[in-house]
Structure 1
Amino acid sequence: MKTSSQDWAQAFRAFLDRRALIMLFLGFSAGVPILLIFSSLSLWLGEAGVDKSAVTFFSWAALGYSFKFVWAPLIDELPVPILTRILGRRRAWLLIAQLLIIASIAIMACSDPSLGSSYLVQMAVGAVLLGFSAATQDIVIDAYRIELGDAQMQTVLASTYNAGYRIGMIVAGAGALFLAGWLGTSKGNYIYSAWKYTYLVMAGVMLIGVLTTLFIREPNVQRNHKNYQTTDYLRLVVVFFIAVSSFVVSYIYFGQLVESLNKLWAIHDGALLFLIEMFRFLLSVAISLCIGACLVKFGVVKKKMAIDTWITPVQDFFQRYGVKLALFLLLLIGFYRISDIIAGVISNVFYQDLNFTKEQIAEAVKVYGVIFSLLGGFLGGLLAQRFNIMRLMFIGAIFASATNLMFIGLVKSGQPLSDVHIQLGQQSFTAQPDDVGYWHVDIPSSGFKNEHAILVEAAYQTKPESVIKASLPFLLSGDSQKQIQLLPLPHQNVLNQNSIAKEIVIKGQYYIGSSDRSDSRIVIHIGERNFPAKLDNHGNFSVAVDGQYLASQNNPVIEAALYNQANTEIAKTQLQYEVSSRTNSDLDVDIKPLSVVNVDQAQSIRVEGKVIKSYSSTWLYFAIMIDNLASGLAGAAFIAFLSSLTSVSFTAVQYAIFSSLMTLTPKILGGYSGTIVTHIGYPKFFLMTAVLGIPILVLVLWVAKLLKEHEAIKTEKG
């Protein structure tokens, strides 16, 4: 008879099995792409000045993960010419997916989102392709994992896969942030080349996954042989692409229609906009399904083949569990991770809004957070071998949602701020900063007449002596037709030892009336060197200069000169800065540059910015570690639960449906995270995500009851 200690020893030894190690490496390969779409990309876009709402909309690029069930049947059915014969079906598809991932990351690396919409579209294309290829890799790895071991081994394989996944996230998260930071880019000091080379390095890291695919063996699984010809498979692919293309075209067309209606009816209600988007999505799906059904009816592909590919796997699931239990299982799968995913979409933007440096975020979130996620995954896998999986899922759901409340404490760890005072000539305005320091005030354009700078003051409520002042120059369209100005450097033109250790981005604005901007150029003069500036189409320019070079100048002055096509200097300005060994105050004010102000037009000009203050790093580390521990435990239990629901006959398809459903609703809602935060603030947002976990607890208990009854009936039938 085995003792309890022997049972625990056997549970530990299972983690050293060769199959567990294989899943560790494949998990690593699966973990690299996800952060390159989510958090690392959101930081890149944030530094490039892309609007916060657009940043969270980029999370929709990962919807490929949620819709992978659509093409999972093709992965199960289609052999890859030549490669399938050499490597086997699973490894052949895995290699193709990994090569596509590398190509997608390279496309994103070659896109600078700060240069305008065309480059942003190019990045979006790369992100969507990355989401598709990474989701394809996930389909194959999930099927490979389920075929690699029996039901008892699945908890171990799920845990080591999760561990490898998290290690991959460390590399793509902390590694990417550390590398980008080391190359000099930061908030307010954006350097495209730093992010470019960071993403190219991440593409190289994916070669580890390629090598793993080449060295492992194909799982030994008996599959039902189907007597279809090559032309049958080609027809199946044609039907699939026509149906998917119809979905994409419909979705884009209805998007333009929805946008026009939103402008016509001035719809701003977030809930209504969400319902409209859901209707748009469902209508596009319905059209693609109708087109697919018509193609089958007209004989483009064999009806039996289409049914075997897309219908039979779903039919099998409902036959095994019954309609009632199957629907509740799908409901639980679709909403179990909702608290985690919705909060996770905005997490890095949240940490950035709390003024933590990229290095702090990398260390806290991508190192300690991932380590505790690994511990949670290991603990979940270990406990899942000894205890009921539904009980473990219940505990995981409690922790995963409740830990979001700690982020409210993180927001409140910063000292409260007084109202922000804005001075424009003889006019005074006040604005109340939100929980993370953002403020704005609308000023009539006529108030800017004969003025050239805005003065802003901010202070802590409990420390009136902490007052900090900042000024922002602006250009007026009624002045000289040729104008140029330099914007203040960080900390109001005071460089300290930390800032001069990196490149510093010098920014400014220019105005040339109705002249063609493409004929203009701007040169920055510092000491004995000239630096050509990068100009955009909105009257802004910038150039990155080594901080040490700025600090070495005897005469700390920056000059900017505007030249026309004839190389004649038509405008000039200068900015004096200071190099100090003192540590800058933990309070600062950042003011968003204004576009050229036209005082002759009756309009309101929004002046906005952010009071930068410090928050508790202890709160940051503690909240992230506990949150990731809970998330890792819940994730490992959930993966094992999903694996137990699949049929060996339809491994890839059924697991793809489950894992897609797991993230579909949360990701659609997560795309609105930035908009929700803008309207209700971070504290209420995190409270909302925690409350969303309460119905999930009820659902877990109900599904556990139904599963128990189902097993009892199966036992009776015997």
Structure 2
Amino acid sequence: MSDKTPTSELPAPTTAQGATSTASTPTTAKPAWRDVWHVYAEAATLRMLFLGFSAGLPLLLVFGTLSFWLREAGIDRTTIGYLSWVGLAYGFKWVWAPLVDRMPIPLLTRLLGRRRSWLLLSQLVIVAALVGMAMTDPKLALQPVVWCALAVAFGSATQDIALDAYRIESADTQRQAALAAAYQTGYRIAMIWAGAGALWIAARAEVVGDAVTYQHGAWQVAYLAMAASMLLGMATVLLSPEPVPRPLAPSRNAAEWLKTALVDPFADFLRRYGKQALLILALIAVYRISDVVMGIMANPFYVDMGYTKDEVAAVTKIYGVVMTLVGAFVGGALAMRFGVMRVLMLGAVLSAGSNLLFAWLGTRGHDVNALIFVISADNLSSGIASAAFIAYLSSLTNINYSATQYALFSSMMLLLPKFLAGYSGKYVDAFGYSHFFTATALLGLPVLILVGLASRLKTPPGQSE
């Protein structure tokens, strides 16, 4: 979810021809506000809105929404926490990213091109796996649900690889922040649909008058509806143009192909950034740690606090949508106007602070007004942080290795947080929700230090000024 913002603080991506460029020079004039907002009406930006929806839809269906479903089905919190390790598929997507970056799919690549063919294939995998989840009751057989959830995560991670490359290759660097904001907006809308929308559908599908609290049929309808929602992304892929293909040097043998596909993308990053790479990678690894670790227990928290599916869905759908849109577009605009690093710092502060609001919410009992306030603040902060962070990650990539390098960055973003999140249920069982939410907020303190250090980095040697 990528435009380069006017800041001399960031090392820049390469151009489509492979030459490097800085994020800006000290003499670069700030774009006028009219030009900043006009970019959101361009076709490439609107296209990224729909593709962002396709990318964001699967995530909650194997995390937050699934945890609500599992908790309602009587699965204990510790097990739910461990099942979040399904998300480690996102943390290891760099392993197969070189294949997505370079390997053609028989027939499909010839018809659609390299990027769109992988996008469509991954979307088909997601749809099939969501249907599989819908047809299985975790209360009776948990393992099939886990395997289907793993398939959804694998297909979603593969879609992310292809889509990040598609986005980076679809526009010049001056529009990357706008594309990131549009992508993030679509992504967040999809997460709200996969969260609030799925809960709302499940609530509507429940048999009225049935004394049984848990009804698998209601969740089945919800997950089938989510599978059908992937058709929007599939249609967008089929109707979108393929980016101008960059020529790939022919490989004489398997060893040379592996070097080009696996070794060169990582060597390029280390060569361009040198010792600075360690600081950059550390920042990437922990930037979203507060949100990700906290997120697994959010829906079990709502269930245990007595909020109904309708209440959570209504609050998230109305206030969450509005604040997500505001956060994503404000974050993208601020990044273009004032620079990515300043907005990264703002997003880090807001993300940690919103977790403290959840600790406060735990003291309020069943208070819908407090829930509205907390969810609104959380979505606003997340939208701002994500728009800036995606633009930052995009600025680090070399266009010649866009899929592989961005997959490495976005994988690192999730690997440590997802691993720690697996113990979230066990932590809540031992210490309670308020202590847990406070601890996740404190996890954000090292992020502030790393953003401050990263903002001092100079342009890598060898890049043009």
TM-score (norm 1): 0.59
1:679-699 deviation line (CA, Å, top 9, x unaligned): 111111111111111111111
**Equivalent residues of 1:43, 1:348 under 8 A apart:** yes
Partners of 2:192 and 2:320 within 8 A in 1: no
Cα deviation code 1:447-466 (max 9, x no counterpart): xxxxxxxxxxxxxxxxxxxx
1:270-419 equivalences in 2 (<5 Å)? 302-322=254-274, 324-414=275-365
Alignment match, 1:208: 232
Aligned counterpart in structure 1 of residue 422 of structure 2, from 655, 671, 689: 671
Structure showing greater relative contact order (alpha-carbon pairs closer than 8 Å, 6 or more residues apart): 2
Structure 1 counterpart of 2:384, which letter? L
Q: CA deviation at 1:225?
A: 3.2
Partner Cα distance (2:377, 2:245) in 1: 40
Q: CA separation in 2, counterparts of 1:170 and 1:50?
A: 23
Alignment of 1:198 with 2:222, yes or no, is yes
Per-residue deviation, 1:227: 4.2
- In 2, the alpha carbon distance for the partners of 1:187 and 1:681 equals 30
Residues 148-547 of structure 1 aligned to structure 2 (within 5 Å): 148-184=170-206, 189-227=213-251, 302-322=254-274, 324-414=275-365
Matched-pair contact (CA < 8 Å) for 1:174–1:367: no
1:567-588 CA distances to partner (integer Å, 9 max, x unpaired)? xxxxxxxxxxxxxxxxxxxxxx
2:63 is aligned to 38
Q: Distance in 2 between matches of 1:3 and 1:397?
A: 27
TM-superposed deviation, 1:52: 1.3
- 1:371 offset after TM fit, Å? 2.5
Tell me how far 1:366 sits from its aligned partner.
4.0
Output one character per residue of 1:205-253: Cα deviation in whole Å (capped at 9) or x when no partner. 111111111111100142333246xxx7xxxxxxxxxxxxxxxxxxxxx
Q: Secondary structure at the match of 1:412?
A: coil
Q: CA deviation at 1:125?
A: 0.6
In the other structure, the counterpart of 1:123 is 145
Could you say what secondary structure the match of 1:112 adopts? coil
Percent identity over the alignment?
Answer: 46
- Matches of 1:683 and 1:313, distance apart in 2: 43
2:117 counterpart residue number: 92
Cα distance in 2 for residues equivalent to 1:401 and 1:174: 23
Of 408, 411, 418, which aligns to 1:660? 411
Q: Does 1:60 align with 2:95?
A: no
Corresponding residue number in structure 2 for 1:107: 132
1:166 maps to amino acid: R
Superposition deviation, residue 375 in structure 1: 1.1
Q: CA RMSD of the aligned region, Å? A: 1.8
SS of alignment partner, residue 114 of structure 1: coil
Q: Distance in 1 between matches of 2:295 and 2:394?
A: 24
Paired residues of 2:251 and 2:257 also in contact (CA < 8 A): no
How far off is 1:370 after superposition? 3.4
Deviation readout 1:549-606 (Å, 9 max, x if unpaired): xxxxxxxxxxxxxxxxxxxxxxxxxxxxxxxxxxxxxxxxxxxxxxxxxxxxxxxxxx
Amino acid at match of 2:164: D
**Other-structure match for 1:480:** none
Q: Is the Cα–Cα contact under 8 Å of residues 56 and 345 in structure 1 kept in the other structure? A: yes
Q: Which structure shows the higher helix fraction?
A: 2
Equivalent position to 1:636, from 387, 392, 395:
387
Kindly report which structure 2 residues correspond to 1:135-150, keeping only aligned pairs within 5 A, or say none: 135-150=157-172
Kept in 2, the 8 Å contact 1:46–1:187? The answer is: no
Note if contact 1:155-1:384 (Cα within 8 Å) is conserved in structure 2: yes
Letter in 1 for 2:82: F
Paired AA for residue 258 in structure 2? A
Amino acid at match of 1:354: M
Letter in 2 for 1:306: L
Distance 1:390 1:405, change over 3 A: same
Partner residue in 1 for 2:13: none
- Secondary structure, aligned partner of 1:113: coil
**1:688 maps to which residue?**
439
Q: Deviations over 1:649-696 (max 9, x none)?
A: 100000000000001100010111111111111111111111111111
Equivalent position amino acid for 2:42 in 1: D
- The answer on whether the counterparts of 1:169 and 1:366 sit within 8 Å (CA) in structure 2 is no
Q: Distance in 1 between matches of 2:281 and 2:310?
A: 40
Relative to structure 1, is the Cα distance of residues 370 and 664 closer, same or farther in structure 2, using a 3 angstrom cutoff? farther
| Rg larger for | 1
Paired residues for 1:539-578 under 5 Å = none
Would the aligned equivalents of 2:297 and 2:425 in 1 still touch at CA under 8 Å? Answer: yes
Determine the structure 2 residue equivalent to 1:17: 42
Q: List per-residue Cα deviations over 1:237-292 (Å, max 9, x = no partner).
A: xxxxxxxxxxxxxxxxxxxxxxxxxxxxxxxxxxxxxxxxxxxxxxxxxxxxxxxx
Length, aligned pairs only = 436
Question: C-alpha displacement at 1:140, in angstroms?
Answer: 0.7
Does the CA-based 8 Å contact 2:53-2:190 persist in structure 1?
yes
| Aligned residue among 443, 446, 452 for 1:701 | 452
Q: Which AA in structure 1 matches 2:58?
A: P
The answer to whether the aligner puts 1:71 opposite 2:96 as a matched pair is: yes
Cα distance in 2 for partners of 1:66, 1:109 equals 25
In structure 1, distance between residues paired with 2:106 and 2:219: 37
Deviation at 1:170, TM superposition (A): 2.3
Q: Is the 8 A contact 2:283 2:451 kept in 1?
A: yes
Opposite residue 192 of structure 1, the aligned amino acid is H
Contact 1:47/1:188 (<8 A) preserved: no
Distance of aligned partners of 1:209 and 1:120 in 2 relative to their CA distance in 1, 3 Å threshold: same
Gaps of 5+ in 2: 1-27
TM-score if structure 2 supplies the norm length? 0.90
- Paired amino acid for 1:214: L
8 Å CA contact 2:351, 2:382 repeated in 1: yes
Distance 1:227 1:309 in 2: 10
Q: 1:391 to 1:357 in 2, by over 3 A?
A: same
State the alpha-carbon separation in 1 of the partners of residues 301 and 168 from structure 2.
37
Change (3 A) 1:173 1:43: same
